[in-house]
Structures are given as structure tokens and as C-alpha cells.
Amino acid sequence: MPDEPPPTPLVVLVPNADGARALAADPLIQAVQYDVGRKPGPEHLAARAIVVGYGRADETAAVMAGLPLLELVQTLNAGFEQWLGRVPAGVAISNARGAHGRSTAEWVVAVLLAHLRDLVAFAATQAEGRWDARFVGTLDGARVAVLGAGDIAGHVRAMLEPFNATVTLVGRTARDGVVDMEGYRRIHGEQDVIVLALPVSDDTARMADREFLATMKDGAILVNAGRGVLVDTDALIAATAAGRIHALVDVTDPEPLPAGHPMWSAPGITITPHVAGATAGIWDRAWQVAVAQLGAYARGERPDNLVVERS
């Protein structure tokens, strides 16, 4: 009986040399580099998958449109909403869930501790050469709700519970360790901290609206580690200006936040410029996830991180 011919490798377009190196070890994958903004050449036309970053979505979508065999888009980010409506019809999307959850959760803990322990104010009094000893807040005993039950949320719970915080995860469906939105509404007004770690959808866009903010507990903290459009910006500015709640946000709407926007100077809002996941090794972690997802697809398996199915 003749030997079986070797399987045809999965041709995957990658945006940089890091991607080519990351995929080189898998014999079932042939990585081909592409340039965003350039029309695909003959060497790209056999691609059945493409790896994409976060930015330049319209230019990258134009590259995808020129790939007749495209079946799968693999992102290097957990968020994928910018590709909805841009990916050609019938093409699946797999994200980088698992790559950035720990570093994003670390940011949540960092900004909460900095706020509760008033570290910015103590830095200011140090600069003034003034000793200002006083009591501050704590995570000990805090009630924290995380809207979202995925990678980020799991890491947030694991990091906050050692501080003796009570952490509730909120998902679409109730299950062991997770309550649904109906269950969450019953405890919403009791939470000391509410963390937003949700993907963007019709159901979640601007969910933190005027009513949501008005029914938060006095002195509560809203932490947005998801996407800016989860929050109604005007409502947030009004709610924090009233001095009843505080907000710690890594993402804004609009984003980037333009110079002169009232959110920059709004009292009660602390802003970081979408850097929660931006830590050393970020791209190594993202490529590790991408390699696993693409390797599964090359073997004819369903990638674990598939968020949009082929149709």
C-alpha cells in the first residue's frame, strides 16, 4: 500500500516576523507575512486563516476581502467587536482569550488599592514634604461584583479573595460560582465595587447608564476593564461629579479620549490609557494562544476560543 501523502499545511497570514517565528514549529502550518494596507499578492491567496491585531481594522478588512479561501480570523486580543461586520461573510473568528486576563486583573487590583489607600494623595504630600498620617480604605470585607465570568473575571476573583473581599461573578447564565443578571440585580445596590469585564454586544453597550449608576451604593467604585462603550460617558461624568461614586477606567468612549474632553478633568474619575493588559511578555502570551488555536484548526479541530462560527 503506497504511503499517504503528507497533509497540505494550513496557510496562515501573520502581521509580523514574531508571528512567523511563533508558528514555525507546527509542521501543519505555513506562515506567510502580510502588510496591512497592501493588496494581497499571489503568495497570500492560498491563505485559509489570518492573524490580526487590534488597530487598523478597516485596512486589515480590505486585506481579508482579497483572500478567496479565508475561513478563520485569529485575533491577538480578547476583544473582537471591531471585526464584527468587517470580516467577510461566513468566516469564523477565534480570539486570544487566556492571554491577557491575568495582567488585566492585576490592573484591577492595582487601581483599587491605589484608590482605597489614597496613594496619589500621599505622593502629593511627599512632594510637599508634609507628613499627613490618616486612615484610608481597604479591600478587607469589600463586596465586589464582576460583570463577566470569563478569563478576566476569574483572575480578578482569584486575586481579590486573598484580601478577604467577597467576589461575585455575573454571567449570562447562573451556574456554580456565577449568578445571572436577574440574580445580580438583587445585590447591585449592596456592592462596594463593580468591575465591568464584559464583551461588547447589543445587550451590554452602555449598560452602565444613568439608572445603573444612580442605584449603586453610596461611596461605591465602578471599575471598567472591558470596553469604553459599556458605560454611558455623560452619565458617568454626572454621577461622579455629584461625589457619590468614583470610577477607575482603563477604557473610554470615545477612545482615545481627545484632548479637552470633559472626562479628563471630571472629579471622581481616574483614567489609564488602555494599558491594563500592556505588560512585559504581552505578545508572547498572545502568540502562544494563537498558535494553540491555529494548530487545532490545522488538525481539523474546533478552536477552543471560537467566538464566531463559520456559516
* Proportion of the chain above pLDDT 70, given as a percent: 98
- Secondary structure of 11-38 in HEC code, one letter for each residue: EEEECCHHHHHHHCCCCCEEEEECCCCC
The CA distance from 139 to 225, in Å, is: 18
For domain 10-99+281-308, give the CATH number: 3.40.50.720
Q: Where are the alpha helices (DSSP H) in 117-261?
A: 119-127, 151-160, 181-185, 210-214, 233-241
The strand ranges marked E within the chain are: 10-14, 29-33, 49-52, 72-75, 92-94, 143-147, 166-170, 178-179, 193-196, 221-224, 246-249, 269-271, 306-308
- Set of cell numbers at residue 261: 474632553
Compute the average pLDDT of residues 212-229. 97
Residue 289 has pLDDT above 60, yes or no: yes
Compute the average pLDDT of residues 32-38. 94
pLDDT band at 4 (very low <50, low <70, confident <90, very high): low
pLDDT for res 1: 46
Say if residues 132 and 122 touch (Cβ distance below 8 Å).
yes
| 48-72 per-position pLDDT tens digit | 999 999 889 999 999 999 999 999 9
* Mean of pLDDT over the chain: 96
pLDDT for res 79: 87
Angle between helices 119-127 and 101-116 (to 10 degrees): 60
pLDDT band at 264 (very low <50, low <70, confident <90, very high): very high
pLDDT for res 51: 98
DSSP 206: T
* Proportion of the chain above pLDDT 90, given as a percent: 94
For the chain, give every residue range classified as CATH 3.40.50.720. 10-99+281-308, 101-271
Indicate the fold that domain 101-271 takes in CATH. Answer: Rossmann fold (3.40.50)
pLDDT for res 37: 84
DSSP 175: B
pLDDT for res 3: 62
The strand ranges marked E within 21-165 are: 29-33, 49-52, 72-75, 92-94, 143-147
Say if residues 277 and 103 touch (Cβ distance below 8 Å).
yes
| 108-145 per-position pLDDT tens digit | 999 999 999 999 999 999 999 999 999 999 999 999 99
Say if residues 256 and 234 touch (Cβ distance below 8 Å).
no
